[in-house]
Amino acid sequence: MAISNQGTGMTAEQIVQVGGYMQFERKLYDQQGSGLGLTIAKRLTQFHGGEFVIESVPDKQTIVTVSLPVSR
């Protein structure tokens, strides 16, 4: 599954921080949040043996790809 958006994007430093608690600058868009959404998604994906990949171009877009193993 891949999810993309065309927003502020993420820097390489921000991508590395995903997995621990993080809080991004949200002043530009007057958004509120705890910054935990990607962290929770990454940890749940890894808990289930999956792969979580973030690709981003700052000021352009971010693509998050989640791959989960198939249970047989």
Higher pLDDT, 45 or 8: 45
pLDDT of residue 21: 59
Q: Where are the alpha helices (DSSP H) in 20-68?
A: 37-47
| pLDDT tens per residue, range 14-50 | 888 887 755 555 555 555 555 678 889 999 999 999 9
pLDDT of residue 28: 52
pTM, entire model: 0.74
CB atoms inside a 10 Å sphere around CB 10: 21
- CATH code for the structural domain at 2-67: 3.30.565.10
